[in-house]
Amino acid sequence: MAPRRIAEVDAHEGPVHRDGALFFTTQAGAIKRLDLASGDVSVLVADANTPNGMTLGPDGRLIVCEQGSLTRAAAISAFDPETGARELLVDNWRGEPLNSPNDVAVRHDGTIWFTDPSYGHLQGFRPEPRLGDYIYCYDPGADVLEVVDDSFVKPNGIAFSPGGETLYATDSGANQEPGSFHVGMPHHIVAFTVTDAGRLCDRRLLAVTMPGFPDGLKTDGAGRIYASAFSGVQVFSPSGNLLDEIDLPGAVNFAFAGEDLLITTDTAVWSLSLDSPHHRKEN
């Protein structure tokens, strides 16, 4: 079944399904809400500090990657989905400012994991980086932020397997200048084993995406991995085999909503019905 367009709206990144609505971030810097029943779109936060990736926290708040600007610090923050009230969670590592956080995932133990590539500097809206392009884990209970991986050129999408024992992350290093694709640089998905201590080991290549570099990343309840690419959304098995491709050029990111996959493409939200009930759990 082909995707169908359900709303013409500037839905860019961070789609999150909650209580019959799809929350998303826009390139203009807002966090918006699409009512899936009525089609109405409302603004939750008009200026969310150049938001990008977003996920649902354990307490129902929206955990947002704030990329920052030349004058405002990049951060990971929590927003109330009803009022838009913001709580800053973390904006530095050992006193140095974050680059421009891109995507975020919450593990079942409540820890917050996010990618922090230097795309903000490459695109001209962030100062020169003072940290590497790292993957971080933030423990809100202990208020501790740690680097868990420094091996990516441009860490981008991030997601956990259903049980949280595997972390997946995309490297979009093939994208340097806006609109570029350097085929000799990374455009792949990497898998790690998460240890009992919350560290990463056993780094391994899961899949190379073609055409183009991977961006958005999610897993379903059966452990399948979904990644956006130039052709649309590619679906991989936990062993890295390509299982399916959803034909939708321009796909940026996506979220599960019951039996549907909701896909953002910058100008619209699309919906695809998924037959398997295993698709119902978002991670």
Dump pLDDT digits (tens) for 178-226: 888 999 999 999 999 999 999 999 999 999 999 999 999 999 999 999 9
Q: How far apart are CA 128 and CA 55, in angstroms?
A: 27
pLDDT of 276 over the 90 cut = no
pLDDT at 274: 87
Mean pLDDT of the chain, nearest integer: 95
Q: How far apart are CA 265 and CA 268, in angstroms?
A: 6
Structure tokens at 216: 């958005």
pLDDT at 282: 40
pLDDT of 279 over the 60 cut = no
Q: How far apart are CA 235 and CA 218, in angstroms?
A: 10
pLDDT at 280: 38
pLDDT at 275: 72
Q: How far apart are CA 231 and CA 107, in angstroms?
A: 29
Q: How far apart are CA 130 and CA 85, in angstroms?
A: 29
- Residue 62: in which H helix or E strand, if any? strand 62-66
CATH superfamily for 44-255 is TolB, C-terminal domain (2.120.10.30)
Average pLDDT over residues 80-92: 98
SS3 278: helix
pLDDT tens figures, 3-48: 999 999 999 999 999 999 999 999 999 999 999 999 999 999 999 9
Percent of the chain beyond pLDDT 90? 93
pLDDT of 57 over the 60 cut = yes
- pTM for the whole structure: 0.95
Longest dimension (CA), the chain: 50
Give 3-state DSSP helix, strand, coil % of the chain, rounded to 5.
5, 45, 50
Per the document, the length of the chain is: 283
Of 208, 238, 234, give the one whose Cα is nearest residue 222: 238
pLDDT of 278 over the 50 cut = no
